[in-house]
Structure 1
């Protein structure tokens, strides 16, 4: 989590076969667990398929993760949150393999020159570029710890160590324009954590990412979420 920084410019160096095998296996595991339809775009001259990005200029993107899944029009946030959670699992896997990554929100994803498949009733809220970065990424700014984490009845200073460790990990979570539109609240029972999406750009994708970071930071703590993912 500490090594993962957004990189938007990539070299032509190919991603090794062993690394691609690991990423394919991880994508398949995420799909099996979540019901998503995540797809890898491999060694393509334009892995974004000509789709414009919502923000940020990308160069040399030859590999990407297309985060596709079934969309419930009545609950659009559900897919976004799952995409954030499982997409970040893949981004951290790529980071562990020594690769650079960056989240991207694309426009016109149904007009993508055959790079991925979006079936009936599906949507692609985001993608992740990956490969060998042309330069090092930089750490992003974060809101203060006690703004991202809170205790339902009491002060944040009274929060147990596992909760604070989870919040510190969530501080490292990427979000649209670095705005971190989420909050993690320890409820009165001292064991249940509420994950809240706040106003902002792609807040539910950001919340899904933050949930994964929190889980990793909290380690084996005996806590439960107040609601299932998605």
Structure 2
């Protein structure tokens, strides 16, 4: 299964069985995490095969059950940057890891945890680090269900034009954005193709964890338009 296929199949699952990750799954996830940390300057950590991978932390939304495996999205805010920068990087890298997990035959769900500094030792927060979000993963007790999406023309636009007149590659990108998970399903993002026909402006709108959602959506867009000559504004 490639990542585009994983994108189609990924649906949030919050209730898991006791079945552990295999050695191959664990090794593949650790390799992907090491690559993401190197590329994005993060300190993502894999918690696996423990009784409570949430570390006793309450979740911001959604009820989770029997989470024994977790990808803890941890990083440090860059000097001079606001929190949106780390949140977007965590969203982008985290969704790549979530799709990798799905391609390995696992179920996943995004989670935002409270009180992560007062956890029960499942992950390590270094000085100045924080944990914007996490990804629960494992074998679900039942399949996830597709989520509703905003219409394509509410997620994508053309500068000084109609969305319907956008090139096929931009339509493909927006269709992938429609599949992107977001906090409370609100999809607080907007992608605009600028007048030069190759520059795309991606924006976070007002909403819960909007910058995390933007990072997730940007990854989906990039995967769908891979090979297209476009640049981010």
TM bucket (normalised to shorter chain) is over 0.9
Corresponding residue number in structure 1 for 2:200 = 193
Runs of at least 5 residues in structure 2 that lack an aligned partner in the other structure: 1-6
| Secondary structure of 2:8 counterpart | coil
| Secondary structure of 1:124 counterpart | strand
Runs of at least 5 residues in structure 1 that lack an aligned partner in the other structure: none
What CA deviation, in whole Å up to 9, does each residue of 1:106-153 have, x standing for no partner? Answer: 000001111111111111000000000011000000000010000012
Say if 1:162 and 1:219, in contact at 8 Å, map to a contact too. no
Say if 1:175 and 1:206, in contact at 8 Å, map to a contact too. yes
What CA deviation, in whole Å up to 9, does each residue of 1:150-178 have, x standing for no partner? Answer: 00121001100001100000100000000
How do 1:123-138 residues align onto structure 2 when only pairs under 5 Å count? 123-138=130-145
Corresponding residue number in structure 1 for 2:12 = 6
Say if 1:182 and 1:207, in contact at 8 Å, map to a contact too. yes
Corresponding residue number in structure 1 for 2:4 = none
Cα distance in 1 for partners of 2:29, 2:187 equals 27
**May I ask how many residue pairs the two structures share in their alignment?**
226
Q: 1:32 aligns with which of 38, 44, 54?
A: 38
How do 1:70-219 residues align onto structure 2 when only pairs under 5 Å count? 70-72=76-78, 74-219=81-226
Corresponding residue number in structure 2 for 1:62 = 68
TM-score, length of structure 1 as denominator length: 0.97
Corresponding residue number in structure 1 for 2:3 = none
TM-score, length of structure 2 as denominator length: 0.96
Say if 1:85 and 1:211, in contact at 8 Å, map to a contact too. yes
| Secondary structure of 1:2 counterpart | helix
In the TM superposition, structure 1's runs of 4+ consecutive aligned residues that sit over 2 Å from their partners are none
Corresponding residue number in structure 1 for 2:23 = 17
| Secondary structure of 1:36 counterpart | coil
